[in-house]
Amino acid sequence: MTSFLSLRGIDKSFGSTRVLDGIDLDVEPGEFVCLLGPSGCGKTTLLRIVCGIERADRGQLLLGGRDIANLPPAARGFGVVFQSYALFPNLTASRNIAYGLQRNGAPAPAIAKRAAEMLDLVGLAAHADKYPLQLSGGQQQRVALARALAANPRLLLLDEPLSALDAQVRASLRSEIRALQKRLGVVTIMVTHDQEEALSMADRVVLMHDGRIEQAGTPDALYHRPRTRFVASFVGRMNMLRATVLPDGRMRVRDSELLCSPGDLGVGKQATLGIRPEQVVVRRFGDDLGTNSFAARLLDTEFFGNRTAARLACEPLGIEIEADLPADHRHGPALVPSSMVHIQLPQHALSVLAH
């Protein structure tokens, strides 16, 4: 079955710098895909190649099986929303939306009707005659989104659309964009460096690193089943332990042993084990926690309202462990610095990470 959009072997260099290295990616009908990664990983360049602003050095860009790599941006029928909004300051919200439709030669009554429909869709019907400087940042971004959607694009491309907004507006607008995308069913690719945005908005997250796709999958898969150290450390927080594979599903960490499935690694091989802070079990000192439990000393805590982050020194493992405890931890140990506790690293929560 043909995907909606397929990228095959996309390479791109600027001078001697390789920015994209053999990108293969399929985007399915109705899907919301986030390109996630640190600055310089190639995610924006990849979006610009899909848009047509940049040309790949090699590779195919297939839309419904047809190679569109040589089509100019205007001929692709895509909608684009930039970080900077790119609104015309001398045009009202309504006329900003109408601008693209006028270029397509639509009749004036139809343009006015469509602009009004789009403003209503993004909750700005009452602001049709306002200029960009009279609108808040979130309102301007809604106008930019309405303009991109007005021509019924085959594909919506979002380039860091929320990064210029404050945290509260960002949180509100990302849920609005997600709901609107689902309502319209428009295929969407969004670039972001914000893991929270990617995890909360996307059907599938494509995590990029040094011009390559490090791992692609559902938000749940990237968070709970990271394949590499980079994925584990970039998406959320992760405790990492250097280990050696022993027989019978055991791992040696320093002078201690852990039960953990080594996967395909053979006996004697080196491995990195990872566990999320919220999966570390913390109990009173002396409590019998069974397998994979160790004594630890509480170093300090930080209170975040809905959780308390604890930093613990685990001498048997030779590392510091971060643990997230729920705000209501009345049945747990008293969180007094320098006190001793028992921790457990549940076997099911341990991930074996590639380098």
> Of the candidates 198, 162, 154, 221, which has an alpha carbon nearest to the alpha carbon of residue 34?
198
pLDDT at 288: 80
Confidence of residue 332 (pLDDT cuts 50, 70, 90): low
pLDDT at 163: 86
CA neighbours closer than 13 Å in the CB half-sphere of residue 114: 21
**Domain limits, the chain:** 5-231, 237-353
Q: What is the DSSP code (8-state) at residue 280?
A: -
Indicate the CATH number of 5-231 among 1.10.510.10, 3.20.20.140, 3.40.50.300, 3.40.50.970. Answer: 3.40.50.300
Residue 38 CB partners (closer than 8 Å, separation 6+):
193, 209, 234
Q: pLDDT tens digits, residue range 119-174? A: 999 999 999 999 999 999 999 999 999 999 998 999 999 999 988 888 888 888 99
Which pTM does this prediction carry?
0.91
CATH fold of the domain at 237-353: OB fold (Dihydrolipoamide Acetyltransferase, E2P) (2.40.50)
> Of the candidates 254, 214, 251, 238, which has an alpha carbon nearest to the alpha carbon of residue 355?
214
pLDDT at 331: 58
Q: How far apart are CA 335 and CA 324, in angstroms?
A: 12
Q: What is the DSSP code (8-state) at residue 74?
A: G
Q: How far apart are CA 52 and CA 75, in angstroms?
A: 9
* Secondary structure of residue 67 in the 3-state scheme: strand
User: In sequence order, what DSSP letters do the residues of 109-159 get, joined into one string?
Assistant: HHHHHHHHHHHHHTT-GGGTT--GGGS-HHHHHHHHHHHHHHT--SEEEEE
Q: How far apart are CA 151 and CA 177, in angstroms?
A: 17
Q: pLDDT tens digits, residue range 44-87? A: 999 999 999 999 999 999 999 999 999 999 899 999 998 887 89
